[in-house]
Amino acid sequence: MLPAALEAVKRGANATQFYNALKAIGEAPRQSEAYALFKHAAAIHANAGDEAFRPLGSVPTATEMTDWPTKSASGIQQRVLLVIRDRTTGVQSTTYYSVNSQNGVTREEAIAQAIQAADANNERYKSDVIGAAHMSTYRLVPFTGV
């Protein structure tokens, strides 16, 4: 449902319109759950802009990356935002997962790695991943000083 929420945000819809569209196709969760997911989608769109809508099968290009000075690390770091629902309370929260590689991976691979890592802890934390979005890519550049 997160992709549908992101599309609704991009179209300029509000949370009620998103919920009503889900109801119309028989996919509606509880209203509070749909509103919370829409809120996360709006935050993703505000923070990542068009990044969440770029092709999942592509590796981020140099123009889509931001240089990030580091003490010694190099390579590429891709950030994925995960939307997680607590099984007991139904409360949704978000967390970031970083995927590090030498040359970058496709957005789809980064999202899959993030979900796999979160799924490994589902039972321990009694939670489920209900959505994920590729947020940003950084080129890790060792800082050489002045």
Q: What is the pTM (predicted TM-score) of this model?
A: 0.89
Bridge partners (DSSP) listed for residue 100: 77
CA 68 to chain centre: 20
> 88: burial class by Cβ within 10 Å (0-12, 13-18, 19+)?
exposed
CA 136/CA 106 separation, integer angstroms? 12
75-118 tens-digit pLDDT? 999 999 999 999 999 999 999 999 999 999 999 999 999 999 99
CA 2/CA 52 separation, integer angstroms? 11
**Statement: residue 15 has pLDDT above 80:** yes
Which SS3 state, helix, strand or coil, does residue 124 take? helix
What's the Rg (C-alpha) of the chain? 17
- Asked if residues 30 and 91 have their Cβ atoms less than 8 Å apart, the reply is no
What pLDDT does residue 111 have? 98
- Asked if residues 19 and 4 have their Cβ atoms less than 8 Å apart, the reply is no
Q: Where are the domains of the chain?
A: 1-53, 56-146
Q: Which CATH code for domain 56-146?
A: 3.50.20
Rounded to the nearest integer, the mean pLDDT of the chain is 95
Give the mean pLDDT of 3-30. Answer: 94
